[in-house]
Amino acid sequence: MAAKPSLAFLSSESEKARLARERLVDRYGSVPVEDADVIVPLGGDGFMLETLHRYKALAKPIYGMQRGSVGFLMNEYQEDDLPLRVAKAQSYKLHPLRMRAKTLSGEQTEGLAINEVALLRETRQTAKIRIQVDGIVRLEELIGDGVMVSTPAGSTAYNLSAHGPIIPLGAGALALTPICPFRPRRWRGAVLPYAARVLFQILEPEKRPVSAVADFTEVRDVVEVEVIEDRSVGLTLLFDPEHNLEERILKEQFTP
């Protein structure tokens, strides 16, 4: 990366983020995203995910700064020496999950998830879901609110709230985690190799409808959902050496 990389500043809709962008543009200037060496989103994790999805085809590194409510994927906000900080930042390559969902009507939809693919019940009735991994039925019937597959980067988000395992970035693994399981009562999920192909089959889909959500893509009334990690898509995040994502994921495992 150039000693002084050209930067494209983006901001969420919050006033705090917009004011920060104005100050940074006044100080360092800003180029169009297509011409930038690095994209700098200002906001929270939600805006970071939005930026990653919107500009994934450009394959440009992204250095986010925290100007939102949650900033696990963001660096600390500091205005001084920003081009130098960006040039010295450590890079991490993330691979999203690819969801392929089929609905009751026969429609098929694909979506990418940087955090997780989650299946959720749509009504008051619990979902009933059969789980296959690499063509083998591993769980004949899960009864509960749903289930999710999470990437390492997403393992500290919804997955953690559902009591799923935190996965280190270099582990080459995915988290398979039930959401409020009723039966089997003691099943708490599994850690799968990154190359695993997970197939969810919805049992009684008309009586117990289920939706599938891959970050910003939601498909309702699904009957079958396949999830794989898509290694053909690589997303590069930049972090300050003292604030790197790997260390934060490790630290999260020791947080009371």
Which residues have a catalytic role annotated?
A: 45
Helices (H), 75-157: 82-88
For residues 144 and 181, give the distance between their C-alpha atoms in angstroms, rounded to a whole number: 4
If we measure between CA atoms, which residue out of 42, 150, 46 comes closest to residue 94?
150
For residues 114 and 68, give the distance between their C-alpha atoms in angstroms, rounded to a whole number: 19
User: How far from 179 is each of 4, 160, 161, CA to CA, in Å?
Assistant: 46, 11, 9
For residues 19 and 16, give the distance between their C-alpha atoms in angstroms, rounded to a whole number: 5
User: How far from 3 is each of 18, 89, 108, 200, 241, CA to CA, in Å?
Assistant: 27, 11, 46, 48, 16
Residues 6+ apart with CB under 8 A from 163: 177, 188
